Amino acid sequence: MILFVLAVENILFPLVGAAIVLKFALSRRRSLLKDLPAELAERLGFVPLETLSKLAGRETIWIHAASAGEVAAVSELIARIKARGGERAVAVTCSTAAGRDRAQALPCVDAALLAPVDFYPAVSRFLLQIRPALLLIAETELWPHMIELSARRGVKIAVVNGRISKKSFARARPFAFLARPFLKRLDRVAAQSQEHAARFKALGAPAERVRVLGNLKYDVRPSAGPVEAAASALLDMGWAECPIFVAGSTHPVEEDAVLEAFLGAKEKVPALKLVLAPRHVERAHEAAQSLKRRGVAFKVWSKLEPGVERKSADALLLDAMGVLSAFYGRALLSFVGGTLVPIGGHNILEPALAGCPVAFGPHTAHVEEVARILQDAGGGFKVRDAGELAMKLESLAALPDKARLAARAAQDAAASLQGAVGRTLDYLEDWL
């Protein structure tokens, strides 16, 4: 069965690759294709000589994380692995350039690369060059060639922060017989919750190798640099004493709802300011157009000049990775995207950890457990539309004591879920 799946994947690879390129060409994210020629060698498994020199003569731990969000989730785990000492090198691969750039910025990462496409020549070539001793796969990146060819080389394989969404599980279950041989190749699975663990087992992961260790994202804290930069920007903009609404990881349609809610609430709370961060940085120009259409005076993060006063703006558009979390700690209320549209939700715990109440829409399939915990604690609020979001903003602005209680409740609820990094390290102890 393993050989059959790999053979089919290799045969279909050219067609699937062409379909993916076409999909991007017809989407809002088509600008990403301009970098494809420069990225092609890496995606086909060719590791730059400069990178190989950093790994030469050292045992390598290969960590694969799909994109910037997954890199952020495993960043504390990587830091703790490196802090244990030894000569091990850490190589991180990502499916997206934004993820690779995020990994490259981490001081605990020796090499950051685009992941080889799941095609026999590419994965085989990549493994032959970096020769990993251990492969840690973040969340759901279960690629057949990556798993099978690593296992054949004697590489220990573990899934960390493992999750399988309800929708993905429903799609995969009829084909469990195809997935089972590859899941049996996994030496360990550290699942985020009982529900995710049950799905891994149902698809074929050996029950004795699956443990529930929590979500690594709950242990991530914003670094000092972005926090200081955010505080400086708020001071320069004259926002230090203003109530601030932060809308993060937003998608098309959601930005219109966020702006409608912001402008509606601003009629009753004139001092209210907005920080807006689209889910994909390359869409910042679209968000800028939405701000212009609504007549909102705004500044763009990448164009701010430190120390220059710019008090005329009512909104700040974030067009860079890694700074959003620094603003959550200064906000009256946050909204996390992927929840007013049927995406399933992004990291709603991030603002809660920063001590900020969180609003989210009804589509929370990817963050269901956290949404329930935050709601039960009084630090999270489900809203159906822009009107309800505006009402929540107005309510918290009008009742400072209520806002403080909600912020404390969100932070306490988030803190109760921490500890996954330590548990995961304990689980991997004999390999490290």
Three-class SS of residue 358? strand
Sign of CA dihedral 202, 205, 211, 213: negative
Q: Which of 9, 42, 59, 70 is catalytic?
A: 70
CA–CA dist 377, 408 (Å, integer): 10
Instruction: Spell out the alpha helix ranges (H) of 153-207.
Output: 166-172, 176-183, 194-203
Q: In what order do the strands lie in the sheet with 89-94?
A: 111-114, 89-94, 60-64, 132-138, 156-162, 188-191, 210-212
Give me Rg for the CA atoms of the chain.
22
Whether 70 is catalytic: yes
Q: Which two tokens stand for residue 422?
A: 């330590």
CA–CA dist 421, 419 (Å, integer): 6
Q: Which two tokens stand for residue 309?
A: 């006063």
Three-class SS of residue 202? helix
CA–CA dist 335, 329 (Å, integer): 13
Q: How many residues does the chain have?
A: 432
* 254-292 burial code (b ≥16 CB/10 A, e <16): bbebbbbbbbbbbeebeebbbbbbbbbeebbeebbebbe
- Residues serving a catalytic function are 70
